Amino acid sequence: MKKRVLFVAHPYLDANMGGVRLRRIARLLPRFGWEVVVLTHSQDGTTVPVREEPGVRVVEVAAMDLTRLYQRMRGGKDSGPQQPGAVKPEPTAKKTGLSSELNRWLMIPDKQIPWRRPAIRKGAELLRAENYDVIFASLDPRTSLLVATHLAERFRVPCVLEYRDLWIGNPYYHITQPTPVHRWLHQRLERRVLRRASRVTAVCQGIARYLSEAYGPVLKAPVELNYNFFDPAEYPTSPPTGAAPRPFTVSYTGAMYASRTPHQFFEGMRRFIDLRKLTPNQFRFRWAGGASGINDLSAVIDRTGVRPYLDFLGMVPHREALRLLMDSDAALLLQSADDQIHIPGKLFEAMGARVPLLALANPCEVTEIMERCRAGLVSAHTAESVAESLGQFEVASRERRRWDFNEAAVLTFSAEAAVARLAVLLESAGT
């Protein structure tokens, strides 16, 4: 007999990696004996259309969407993936405006707070109508954790909380907690949800370690580790052999922002181009994603002169991003020099595509995983190191050498293995 889990998942329909991860988990959990009911927000023009999956039921809850409200106030439209034939976007960084200030000062714990009450009402209807063995919620947003733990306490159902990011305690907490009063309020809310949780899991050791040190006395069990992962079923088939030759290509799929800037990479890219005397027909850097908070992005591109070598694609659908990875010689990963906690999801996406990574990172969990999986090269945050690494990838590409991944280690980060571990955790939450 299947068990039933209530997913409190505000970002379930979103195109970002949070939504991708939760859709993967929901799709695969039925293989391990779970029926999944997803409590999420309503669809709009920026969300991923709901696809029916065996054993998965999606329940949408309408609420005021502050992001769309701010866009209407500015007279703008919702942004989304680029459509075929659209004007080629320019690599400009989104600036922090009034809406961001309103969110961090007034929307506690985050801008999804208007969804809390409607979600609790609908969740209560579901819990009264049928039996649930466990409730599951994933941060971000933090509001999902408020909804899940409220329902869990009210209906005495075990609750599992997943931390994909830190609530507070990360190097950039001031972005969402601008004053000591805000920090106190957030810490109080976080302590409350963790006290109510039956189990807590984190996607990296840094988050697990922080939670254990900051909230150990209120945790009912040690924090479990369950990394982000890749899903082999999502990757398109490889290009046919004998396809037309293409330039040496490095791709970046994701966002860049103030703490993860491309400055050192572009400096190193320029040095690599000059050393190898490459033309734009011989080398391309493809960037699929966006940028925010990098005020001098255009100036850096112009100063380094890399614009003729740059293909900026803007936002693209996830499957298209995976196709771009598979058609690349290397994938760029940027880790802030000050960040010893987070692991960019593109690390796992690239390993799933079996594309080696060029990681700008200091020694941390990212570099440990790369070393274990033989997943690419780690570069210091200097132009010289970047240029040297690009040179090694270019030689491997020219000689048509396949990268020697540690396949056994890579497969531990596959969707099947990760969701199997989560299924065991859900099962243990009620014991």
Give the range of the structural domain holding residue 382, as residue numbers without chain letter: 238-411
Distance, in Å, from the CA atom of 385 to the CA atom of 272, rounded to the nearest integer, reads 10
Q: Is 254 left (phi over 0), alpha (psi -120 to 50) or beta?
A: left
Whether residues 305 and 422 fall in one domain? no
Kindly report, residue by residue over 339-358, the tens digit of the pLDDT: 878 898 899 999 999 999 99
The total of other beta-carbon atoms located within 10 Å of residue 393's CB is: 22
CB burial class (10 A; 0-12, 13-18, 19+) of residue 276? middle
> How many domains is the chain partitioned into structurally?
2
Whether residues 256 and 187 fall in one domain? no
- List C-alpha distances in Å: 390 to 241, 345, 349, 374: 24, 22, 20, 17
- pLDDT in single tens digits along all 431 residues of the chain: 789 999 999 888 887 888 899 999 999 999 999 999 999 998 776 677 777 889 999 999 988 765 665 565 556 554 445 444 444 566 765 555 556 667 677 778 888 999 999 999 999 999 999 999 999 999 889 999 999 999 999 999 999 999 999 998 765 555 667 788 888 999 999 999 999 999 999 999 999 999 999 999 999 999 999 999 999 999 987 654 545 678 999 999 988 876 778 899 999 999 999 999 999 999 999 999 888 777 788 899 999 999 999 999 988 888 899 999 999 999 999 998 888 788 988 999 999 999 999 999 999 999 999 999 999 999 999 999 999 999 999 999 999 999 999 999 999 999 999 999 999 999 999 77
The total of other beta-carbon atoms located within 10 Å of residue 221's CB is: 12
Query: How many whole angstroms from its chain centre is CA 324?
Result: 17
The total of other beta-carbon atoms located within 10 Å of residue 157's CB is: 20
Tell me the Cα Rg of the chain. 22
Whether residues 260 and 222 fall in one domain? no
**pTM given for the model:** 0.88
Whether residues 215 and 271 fall in one domain? no
Tell me what pLDDT residue 63 has.
83
Kindly state the tokens that stand for 223.
Answer: 């924090």
Reference 285, options 254, 310, 267; nearest CA is 310
Reduced to 3 states (helix: H, G, I; strand: E, B; else coil), residue 58 is: strand
Kindly report, residue by residue over 300-333, the tens digit of the pLDDT: 999 999 999 999 998 888 889 999 999 999 999 9
Kindly state the tokens that stand for 195.
Answer: 């006290």
Reference 288, options 264, 308, 316; nearest CA is 316
**CATH for 424:** 3.40.50.2000
Residues 185/174, Cβ–Cβ less than 8 Å: no
Whether residues 119 and 57 fall in one domain? yes
Distance, in Å, from the CA atom of 285 to the CA atom of 387, rounded to the nearest integer, reads 13
Whether residues 142 and 221 fall in one domain? yes
Whether residues 88 and 224 fall in one domain? yes
Whether residues 60 and 120 fall in one domain? yes
Whether residues 88 and 163 fall in one domain? yes
Whether residues 368 and 423 fall in one domain? no
Whether residues 308 and 377 fall in one domain? yes
Whether residues 214 and 264 fall in one domain? no
